[in-house]
Structure 1
Amino acid sequence: MDPLEDVLALLETRSQLSASLEAGGRWAVRFDGPAGVKFNAVRRGHCVLEAESRPDPIFLAPGDCYLLTRPQRFVLRSDPPGPEVDAGTVFRGARNGVAHTGTGQDVLLIGGRFTFEAPGQELLLDGLPPVIHVPAGTAHAETVEWALTVIEHELSKKPVASTLVAEHLAVVMLIHVLRLHLASEPHMVSGWLAGLADPAVAAALTSLHADPARAWTVADLAHAGAVSRSTLAARFKESVGQGPLEYLTHWRIQLAAQKLRKSSETISSIAHSTGYGSESAISTAFKRVIGVSPSAYRKHHRMTDSV
């Protein structure tokens, strides 16, 4: 099993594409903090990103893309900038899927956002920096560029099922951006994502995800990573921020939460399928991690879904 694939699937990752943005001359567009993970990619021209989480602007060139992994206000602008205008005003005037600002057509950006329907998105987002910038031409960025090129083609030419194709490709792009970031900036990642950069910890994480119901011991996981028990415990804690068995508890609870939301399985059945011997055992662990009992959690989400 692949931990990153598991988490993205658990969170029911989806993309929603917005209108493209075309700009020219001196311009600046101000955006409120978006929900989910915002992305933009520069397909033509140059512009500047100013995000409230970063002290310095990011200069964007053709082929560059970025992710905003936290809700934060940001500005896209020319260099030098023009007067700021509100993004809502600009995008309400979009025609044929393209919004315009400034004068001319020097710059073209495509973008959208990724949303996560399941609770527990902190599994993914808390380990990432607030802004991820992927410059064009960097090592292994070719697949991101390919995905962006096809997305742009789907949005501009609009063949049959173009929106569906573009949105699926955006999720592919997200995965490749995360891969690139893990490979090129491992020091900028924390939590279980950081553990994927350590071969021994990655082996332990893969083992846990392959069989979360197993009664794992730290010694078992150390054997999978070909290191000693003490070495794995120290390296796992240093990179992931919690011990292997603590991580296993949290992962089991996220799997149980998904079953409570999506299935009609009994709590006893869910307990056994996620490594707990009884309904009382999972209830204790679930309440410690989530803050409510499994039955209260299921009732809340059924009421929410019916609204």
Structure 2
Amino acid sequence: MWPITGSTHGRSVADPAVGALRLRGVGQRAGAPVFANPLNVAALVLIGAFAICAVLAPIVAPYDPLAQALGSRLEPPSPQHWLGTDQLGRDIASRLLYGARISLVIGIVVVALAGIFGTLVGLVAGYAGGLVDETLMRVTEVFLAFPPLILAMAIAGALGPSLTNAIIAIAAVTWAVYARLTRGQLLSLRRREFVEAARAIGASRGRILARHLLPNALAPLMVQASFDMGGAIISAAGLSFIGFGAQPPTPEWGVMISEGRNFISTQPWLSLFPGLAILFAVGSFNVLGDGLRDELDPRLRRAA
């Protein structure tokens, strides 16, 4: 757990601004030390490049990612086609850039849906306790009992193959982690002095949750969100690869790998470049998550 003290530089533990101060403190702690690590800096640079490519794909892509040129099919990398062309003559570099946009949207939407829903469930369970806590945690444990990708495949298969359904399936198997993390944090915080003081002055449950408990539970949620960005990207690519996610001709990285697998021995660039894109994108988010965890977990800071 991430223990939080009951006072903030002499401020009253029941002061409504204390929660906001702690929230700013989380951001300040995660700043300089994370940037001081060269590996974390490299990860942030790659994530920044990934985001820029996603946002500027329509501007920087040299070709239409869906435009076919059968006379130029399966060409190796060249000055005209930086990363070569696929079996339909489509420019792989352009499809990779548009694939970055799709992957970024997948990561953001999955983390937003799972994070918001899971955090709300954890807040209610951790603060209410009793039967409400037991019921919500038993439901959460059902989702945690299954391998995430297998459960996502089952949900996506039931909903039907599409990118939207893949996002729903991945979010559905991700929210339970946020619920458990949030609930664990609240169990350790709800009897702290600053929470008891807020109750004593008549603060409502909603105000206590929003101003005092949630800001103190954000540190592990931030770390988990970074890991889940990468997890969502690779899960979506996996679902698309087996036909449960994005469908051709969508320029999604998993679709590109799937389409190139029949040419892996003769034209390896069809699958190699989207595979490398997934590797660097997912690896960067995981490295960033490790850096945030090392900085925000006081046990690891003390060990260092």
TM-score normalised to structure 1 length: 0.24
Higher relative contact order (CA 8 A, sep 6+): 2
Higher share of residues assigned helix: 2
Higher share of residues assigned strand: 1
